[in-house]
Structure 1
């Protein structure tokens, strides 16, 4: 397996998200194509992508067509807009793995759709989406909504480097 990436909140096919989040696209079709291109520009066939929810507002056929065009092994952690469909629906459209709940990755990273409650004594970093252009303060939260990352998946090692404790000078 190659590199690992994380990303969330593509909202494929959701025309209103363009205005809600001031996305730089004229319409949903242009947004969809640009986000597919950006994904494939950074993710290779042997890479793994954790998508942290709110993937698509489109029907089964159109969602499956998008998933099939995206490089990599695709793991969906279902978001609030994904939960209206079953886990098997998401597997049927082409995700390799699907979780209805947050997962712990590498023993230290909580991968979730919504930000999770964290305090300074908890030994985890919460990588999440859901809040789009907003950000939670503090080193324990990393928002991977597409709006923060130029609409492309983020390398997991870049996030690890971001949140690593800084050595004192």
Structure 2
């Protein structure tokens, strides 16, 4: 079977698919919230993470299988995924579906962007790895989507307006922009924070 050269495939993706999901402007504009996803702190290849906060896994191989199968079950080939740091071993990148945009975490060696400003519907979000870093003080938008804290902060912090997408609090499964938006709208009915998804 004939395969189109990469430039032609990229042109068709950008023209007919990519611009219907997301527009890389300033801020990034999410058009289809069901096809834009968030996740953080996979820690591929980091054995110590199991002892620290993932005791449900017997070994790293089982952890990798669950992370990859959950990811690929939900993420389509052309979906956009914002991975908010601590990806881990980059060899696992090729095993995952979707167009992945990486933010730099404290365990990452690559020089990726540290943060993204994202507009979805009537809300503006800051997507960043560490929500307590100095990089968030300037943000005057609505909510912060972050990782880094693992199980040490709730999934939804209604008081500080933060969504924690560390894998341990979102059941090791990416969460869509639309689902985050819906949860935030429903958060007005919460009496307190939500610890996990």
**TM-score by shorter chain over 0.5:** yes
Which structure is richer in relative contact order (CA contacts within 8 A, separation 6 or more)? 1
Task: Give the structure-1-normalised TM-score.
Answer: 0.78
Task: State the match for 2:6 in structure 1.
Answer: none
Task: State the match for 2:51 in structure 1.
Answer: 19
Q: Aligned with 2:173: secondary structure?
A: coil
Question: Superposed, which structure 2 residues align to 1:16-165 within 5 Å?
Answer: 16-56=48-88, 58=89, 63-64=90-91, 66-82=92-108, 85-87=109-111, 98-99=112-113, 101-106=114-119, 108-116=124-132, 122-135=140-153, 137-139=157-159, 140-164=161-185
What 5-or-longer segments of structure 1 have no aligned partner? Answer: 88-97
Task: State the match for 2:42 in structure 1.
Answer: 10
Q: CA RMSD in A?
A: 2.3
Task: Give the structure-2-normalised TM-score.
Answer: 0.68
Task: State the match for 2:8 in structure 1.
Answer: none
**Would you tell me which structure has more helix in proportion to its own residues?**
2
Aligned length: 147
Q: Aligned with 2:152: secondary structure?
A: coil
Q: Deviations over 1:104-136 (max 9, x none)?
A: 1116100000114779xx432000000001225
Q: Rg larger in 1 or in 2?
A: 2
What stretches of structure 1 move > 6 A for 4+ residues in a row?
none
Alpha-carbon offset, residue 24 of structure 1: 1.4
What 5-or-longer segments of structure 2 have no aligned partner? Answer: 1-17, 22-34, 190-197
Task: State the match for 2:32 in structure 1.
Answer: none
| Partner Cα distance (2:85, 2:128) in 1 | 8
